[in-house]
């Protein structure tokens, strides 16, 4: 799969990940074939499009974390699954996930119902519900493949998750518009872990003050590509200030499956 890229943007920095106190740091440059090699600063300046800080933490499997930061944006990125394991999980997801049909495959936008331009499913603990875009969803019980991915995410991040939204994009025509994952059911300040399998797609983030025909401020957007088998951890307060989207990319012909793990507050809390 394509390598992970951090596109250059004003105010966007790349640094240490969530295990920084346990690891060591060194700069890496990603080559065109996706391999990592040590590099020296160019003219004494850090090239933020190519360099990252790397942490090796044996307690979480030695994952190398990159931190993506901008004003009000705090995300961590790592490759969570090797190529062979990611390929196997993708195929298992293709076989086992049961996606919504009928009314559950539609969303409400400005009072009108539209077919979702992708497939969706939810899995999680019993007794939970999640409302977004006019839909209230009760998750299906965990299946083995979503449990395995969830448990790996928990070990790598130190966070426990009780709900996952699965989105399947058939090709570059399937997409999701700008939105924030800020529903009231989510536990306060809890991160959202986005795990990707399959084709690389542009993942775009835009500050809330830079939206609309007459934005109040000019805050540079951030565009990422997430690798097959990777995780993007969106930490507080990212979903307060930043909208994210997966725009149409007509040249992409391969499918992508994305799982966003969340922590939903138990009823009554």
**Sequence ranges of the binding site:** 110-112, 130-132, 167, 169, 179, 182, 244, 256, 260, 262
Please give the torsion angle defined by the CA atoms of residues 70, 243, 27 and 151, in that order, rounded to the nearest 10 degrees.
130
- Read off the tokens for 135: 């839909």
Look at the alpha carbons of 15, 18, 20, 25 in this order and tell me if their dihedral is positive or negative. negative
Contacts of 169 (CB under 8 A, 6+ apart): 118, 175, 198, 199, 201, 246, 255, 256, 257, 258
- Known binding residues for substrate: 110-112, 130-132, 182
- Known binding residues for 2-oxoglutarate: 167, 169, 179, 244, 256, 260, 262
Look at the alpha carbons of 91, 6, 68, 59 in this order and tell me if their dihedral is positive or negative. positive
Q: What counts of helices (H) and strands (E) characterise the chain?
A: 3, 20
269 by Cβ neighbours in 10 Å (0-12 / 13-18 / 19+) ranks as exposed
**Distance of alpha carbon 174 from alpha carbon 250, whole angstroms:** 9
- Read off the tokens for 165: 């939204």
Strands (DSSP E) found in the chain: 5-6, 13-15, 27-30, 36-38, 51-53, 66-70, 73-79, 106-109, 112-115, 119-124, 130-132, 135-137, 163-169, 176-179, 192-198, 202-207, 222-225, 230-234, 242-246, 256-262
């Amino acid at each position: 799969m394509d390598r992970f890229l951090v596109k250059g943007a004003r105010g966007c920095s790349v640094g240490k990940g969530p295990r920084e106190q346990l690891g060591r740091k060194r700069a890496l440059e990603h080559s065109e074939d996706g391999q990592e090699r040590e590099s020296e600063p160019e003219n004494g300046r850090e090239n933020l499009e190519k360099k990252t800080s790397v942490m090796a933490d044996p307690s979480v499997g030695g994952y190398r974390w990159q931190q993506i930061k901008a004003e009000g944006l705090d995300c961590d990125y790592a490759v969570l699954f090797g190529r062979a394991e990611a390929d196997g999980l993708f195929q298992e997801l293709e076989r086992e996930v049961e996606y919504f049909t009928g009314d559950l495959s539609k969303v409400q936008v400005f009072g009108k119902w539209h077919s979702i331009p992708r497939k969706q499913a939810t899995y999680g603990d019993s007794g939970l519900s999640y409302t977004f875009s006019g839909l209230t969803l009760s998750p299906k019980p965990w299946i083995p493949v979503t449990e395995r991915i969830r448990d790996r995410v928990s070990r790598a991040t130190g966070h426990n998750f009780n709900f996952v939204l699965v989105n399947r994009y058939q090709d570059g025509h399937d997409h999701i518009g700008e939105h924030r994952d800020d529903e009231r059911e989510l536990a306060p300040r809890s991160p959202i872990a986005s795990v990707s399998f399959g084709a690389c797609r542009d993942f775009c983030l835009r500050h809330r003050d830079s939206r609309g025909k007459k934005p109040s401020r000019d805050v540079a957007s951030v565009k990422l590509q997430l690798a097959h088998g990777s995780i993007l951890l969106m930490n507080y307060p990212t979903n307060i200030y930043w909208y994210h989207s997966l725009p149409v990319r007509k040249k992409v012909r391969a499918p992508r499956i994305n799982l966003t793990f969340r922590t939903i507050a138990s009823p009554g809390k």
